[in-house]
Amino acid sequence: NKSLGVVMCDLNGLKEINDNQGHDAGDRFILGAADTLKSVFGDEQVYRIGGDEFIAVLTDIAKKDFEEKHNLACIRLGTTASIGVVYKDKMDTDFDSVLKIADAEMYKQKNDYYISTGKNRRK
């Protein structure tokens, strides 16, 4: 019966950074994003789930507090990341369903980023 907030994050432009500046720069980009997410959501709530993908899982958090953290993450990351979020006042569904919603929102934002910047979508 606890609340749940999920933030899915996929970095934008990692391949371009790796190709143009080298993999050390790409690694610094990933580490910087991880540090930003951990500073907003807490060390114990942020997980790397792929090369440039992260998830933050917050339980028993008020919607207002979750929204403030989400907004802060968006401000700090800017266009360097696409973010999808889901907030549930009470977990009335399975966790995988929540992840699918956040993932779909994140990829919609990522697609919008590539359309707005005119860049090719390369992962």
pLDDT digits (tens, 9 = 90+) for 98-107: 999 999 999 9
19-42: pLDDT as tens digits: 999 999 999 999 999 999 999 999
Average pLDDT over residues 119-123: 61
Share above pLDDT 90 across residues of the chain, in percent, rounded to a whole number:
84
Instruction: Quote the pLDDT of residue 122.
Output: 53
Instruction: Quote the pLDDT of residue 123.
Output: 47
Long-range CB contact pairs, 104-111, < 8 A, 24+? 105/8, 106/8, 106/9, 106/10, 106/82, 107/10, 107/82, 108/84, 109/82, 109/83, 109/84, 110/10, 110/12, 110/82
Average pLDDT over residues 118-123: 64
